[in-house]
């Protein structure tokens, strides 16, 4: 059996979760965040859920910022569940940053 891999132009959506390294709003150096660059370079639509200061879970490491498991992922599941965000799985790449 041979794997086919990803066809050129197949990926149309980039979903990002994470902390300040992935947040596109609060960039520490005021530069272009890597998800913006990656989406532009790959000609994909960016769906950014990452927020600065996020940890995996406030149940593990409390921070006064929205955590991935209690904030970013529930928002993603709400949007995909209610149909406001429709992302075909064969056209979507998800990049969780779980530090």
Q: What is the pLDDT of residues 13-54, one digit of tens each?
A: 999 999 888 999 987 788 899 999 999 999 999 999 999 988
Q: What is the pTM of this model?
A: 0.86
In degrees and rounded to multiples of 5, residue 77 shows phi and psi of -65, -35
Domain-located, residue 86 = yes
Domain-located, residue 49 = yes
Q: Which two tokens stand for residue 84?
A: 């406001």
Tens of pLDDT along 39-94?
A: 999 999 999 999 998 888 989 888 888 899 999 999 999 999 999 999 999 999 99
Domain-located, residue 17 = yes
Domain-located, residue 6 = no
Distance (Å, whole) CA 97 – CA 27: 16
Domain-located, residue 73 = yes
Domain interval for residue 80 = 13-95
Distance (Å, whole) CA 98 – CA 90: 23
Domain-located, residue 64 = yes
Distance (Å, whole) CA 18 – CA 21: 7
State the total domains in the chain.
Answer: 1
Domain-located, residue 8 = no
- The residue among 17, 86, 96 whose CA lies nearest residue 49 is 17
């Amino acid at each position: 059996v041979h794997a086919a891999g990803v066809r050129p132009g197949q990926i149309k959506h980039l979903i990002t979760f994470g902390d300040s390294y992935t947040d596109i709003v609060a960039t520490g150096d005021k530069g272009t965040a890597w998800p913006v660059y990656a989406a532009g370079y790959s000609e994909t639509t960016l769906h950014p859920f990452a927020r600065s200061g996020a940890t995996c879970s406030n149940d593990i490491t409390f921070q006064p910022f929205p955590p991935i498991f209690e904030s970013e992922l529930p928002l993603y599941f709400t949007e995909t569940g209610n149909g406001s965000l429709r992302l075909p799985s064969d056209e979507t790449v998800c990049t969780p940053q779980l530090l």
